[in-house]
Amino acid sequence: MTRSMQRVAEAVAGDPAGCSALTVTGLAELTGTSEATVVRTARLLGYPGYRDLRLALAGLAAQQESGQSPAVTADIAVDDSLAEVVAKLAHDEQQTLADTAAGLDTAQLAACVDALAGARRVDIYGIGASGLVAQDLAQKLLRIGLIAHAHADPHLAVTNAVQLRPRDVAIAITHSGTTGDVIEPLRTAFERGATTIAVTGRPDGAVSQYADHLLTTSTARESELRPAAMSSRTSQLLVVDCLFVGVAQRTYETAAPALSASYEALAHRHDPRSGRR
């Protein structure tokens, strides 16, 4: 554990109640460290992310004060009111985004943006909820003039991957880092010389073997009424948006006219006077 991480650990141990009320940014400022250091410390202490450490601290503080079991939790109970569900989901989503932003390696992100900005073609692989994120990235890139395809069918993904070559980019989106149907086409693209990127919550997962660049998402905390796919999707969408905005900035001279043209092409569908929506 580094000295900066020790300062974070000492702070949470000395004042669990006070630290549980702090955002990842607030704790970083309190300890004179960075948001990334806070997130790494949380993971070193055995928590998937800062959100989980913060909840544990709140529970510990409550237990110390009352001698009873911790009452603070973001888990959604079957008898929660809709207002409580909204509050808990909003809290969890905010913390997921903060954890992802704090743990995102901007040097890796910049390298990915460079590769995408100069790509001849972009193939994106994802299954289930990750497949929806793959589709979101593909349609964003298409609107700024890049040739991009999202493949949810594993057979189609592999048969397309064998056509890739240097200057092409392949992106695998997998929260677990172990999804075989995503890893296989990425491996194929890697072997064909394409630049490969993995967006994953498990940077030590099998997908990393075939990734030139890794973009780490927040590790979701799963509960009975909140599957991990919900938090992982939120985290993945933030990374996708960062990639898209970075590429749009880098290719602004072509991206701006392409976006404008796509807006104009659909404008009549949103004009009430056209009779179509």
Nearest 5°: the CA angle 98, 99, 103 is: 120
The answer to whether 182 and 129 are in contact (CB under 8 A) is: no
Range ranked top by mean pLDDT from 50-64, 66-80, 190-204: 190-204
Least confident of 60-69, 150-159, 264-273: 60-69
Does any domain span residue 202? yes
E runs forming strands in the chain: 122-126, 148-151, 169-174, 195-200, 213-216
Is residue 34 domain-shared with residue 144, that is, in the same domain? no
Residue 95 has pLDDT above 90, yes or no: no
Does any domain span residue 198? yes
The answer to whether 134 and 122 are in contact (CB under 8 A) is: no
Q: What is the rounded CA–CA span in Å between residue 36 and residue 23?
A: 13
**Helix residue spans in the chain (DSSP H):** 3-14, 16-20, 24-31, 35-44, 50-66, 82-103, 106-117, 129-143, 154-161, 180-191, 228-250, 252-266
Which residues, 6 or more positions from 5, have their beta carbon under 8 angstroms from its beta carbon? Answer: 33, 37, 40, 41, 44
- CATH code of residue 34: 1.10.10.10
- 74, 89, 124: which is the final residue of a domain? 74
Comparing 171 with 259, the larger pLDDT belongs to 171
Report the sign of the C-alpha dihedral through residues 221, 45, 97, 87, in that order: positive
Question: In which domain, by residue range, is 230 found?
Answer: 106-264
Is residue 193 domain-shared with residue 114, that is, in the same domain? yes
Is residue 69 domain-shared with residue 193, that is, in the same domain? no
Mean pLDDT estimate for the chain? 87
Comparing 215 with 267, the larger pLDDT belongs to 215
In DSSP terms, which residues pair with 60 in a beta bridge? none
Least confident of 159-173, 196-210, 254-268: 254-268
Domain count, the chain: 2
**What's the pLDDT score for residue 72?**
34
Does any domain span residue 14? yes
Residue 110 half-sphere exposure, CB side, CA atoms within 13 Å? 3
Residues constituting the chain:
277
Does any domain span residue 84? no
In DSSP terms, which residues pair with 114 in a beta bridge? none
Is residue 57 domain-shared with residue 133, that is, in the same domain? no
The burial of 10, by beta-carbon neighbours within 10 Å (0-12 exposed, 13-18 middle, 19 or more buried), is given as exposed
The side-by-side arrangement of strands in the sheet containing 195-200 is 148-151, 122-126, 169-174, 195-200, 213-216
Comparing 183 with 232, the larger pLDDT belongs to 183
**What's the pLDDT score for residue 180?**
96
**What's the pLDDT score for residue 161?**
97
Does any domain span residue 29? yes
